[in-house]
């Protein structure tokens, strides 16, 4: 019975839809956030103008774990801001209140810190560095260890639960 309740809660939390915005423009909708475990997120373009802007019907944001197979109607975009890595890390690890360093490679790392923790809602602020230069900053918000919102302030990227 306990397993069934956990399964139902997990499925309902992961079956939520998400919206992706770029510099205030609503790009599209993400139907399945669980693909982040496989190294990508797939968004369907919101309207005709966005399709013209993208040049395709779908946008796939991917990292190094994803094997790209060029399909029709899909625009592939490499995750240069480590969005997928950060969201996965936050969902799979306990976050401390002290600032901590997450090493990505020899010259890339993230400094993260828990800035808000009330009623099972956590906000983790982060700074992403490459070659010791600040590349982006923003935050990830979770509720009961489920993803709610990602905001990259520097580049104007926002992924929000609908």
Domains of the chain: which residue ranges?
2-161
The CA distance from 148 to 160, in Å, is 6
Q: In angstroms, what CA-CA distances link 114 with 35, 95, 139?
A: 25, 7, 10
The pLDDT value given to residue 149? 95
Query: Which string of b and e fits 45-72 if b means at least 16 CB within 10 Å?
Result: bbeeebbeebebebbbbbbeebeeeeee
Tokens of 106: 């020899």
Residues 35, 41, 44, 50, Cα dihedral to 10°: 180
> Which residues are bridge partners to 124 per DSSP?
114, 140
pLDDT by 10s per residue, the chain, length 162: 444 444 444 444 445 899 999 888 899 999 998 899 899 999 999 888 888 888 899 999 999 889 888 788 899 999 988 899 999 888 888 887 889 999 998 999 999 999 888 888 899 999 999 999 999 999 999 998 889 999 999 999 999 998
Strand-pair partners of 161:
18
CA 13 to CA 8: how far, in whole Å?
Answer: 9
The percent of the chain in helix, strand and coil, each rounded to the nearest 5, is 20, 45, 30
Question: pTM, whole model, 2 decimals?
Answer: 0.82
Confidence (pLDDT) at 15 = 53
């Amino acid at each position: 019975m306990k397993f069934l309740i956990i399964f139902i809660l997990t499925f309902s939390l992961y079956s939520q839809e998400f919206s992706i915005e770029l510099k205030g423009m609503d790009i599209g909708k993400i139907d399945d956030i669980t693909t982040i475990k496989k190294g990508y997120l797939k968004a369907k373009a919101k309207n005709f103008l966005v399709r013209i802007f993208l040049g395709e019907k779908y946008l796939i944001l991917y990292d190094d774990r994803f094997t790209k197979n060029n399909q029709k109607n899909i625009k592939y975009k490499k995750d240069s801001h480590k969005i997928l890595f950060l969201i996965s890390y936050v969902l799979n690890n306990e976050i401390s209140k002290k600032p901590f360093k997450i090493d990505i490679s020899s010259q890339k790392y993230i400094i993260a810190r828990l800035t808000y923790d009330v009623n099972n809602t956590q906000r983790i602020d982060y700074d992403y560095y490459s070659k010791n230069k600040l590349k982006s900053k923003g935050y990830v918000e979770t509720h009961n260890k489920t993803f709610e919102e990602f905001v990259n302030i520097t580049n104007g990227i926002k992924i929000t639960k609908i």
